[in-house]
Amino acid sequence: MQQGFLTPLQRRLAWLTVVVMALYSPLVARLASDDSWMLSLTVAALVAFTIIMDDVESRRAVTRDIPTDEV
């Protein structure tokens, strides 16, 4: 599979960020009296969206390389 716009290291760090922020949110929600835990979920969602867009870009690159039979 071809690569999207993230390098393999950036992709691993993005996945680590999603997992850490998703696990950190309930802890902050329990310890903090305000709604600052929503920031952790927002960051996790934005990083997850970036990973999804990287998947889309890499799949587009693969489909562009596949020759099509013109009839």
Tens-place pLDDT, residues 31-48: 988 888 898 899 999 999
Using one digit for the tens of pLDDT, what is the confidence trace for 2-30? 678 899 999 999 999 999 998 999 998 89
Q: Report if residue 4 sits inside a domain.
A: no
Q: Report if residue 42 sits inside a domain.
A: yes
Identity (one letter) of the amino acid at 4?
A: G
Q: In sequence order, what DSSP letters do the residues of the chain get, joined into one string?
A: ----SS-HHHHHHHHHHHHHHHHHHHHHHHH-SSSTHHHHHHHHHHHHHHHHHHHHHHHHHHHHHS-----
- pLDDT recorded at residue 67: 66
**Residue 48 domain boundaries:** 34-65
Using one digit for the tens of pLDDT, what is the confidence trace for 53-70? 999 988 887 777 666 665
Split into its structural domains, the chain has a count of 1
pTM of the model: 0.76
- pLDDT recorded at residue 15: 94
- pLDDT recorded at residue 61: 72
Contact 66, 3 (CB under 8 A): no
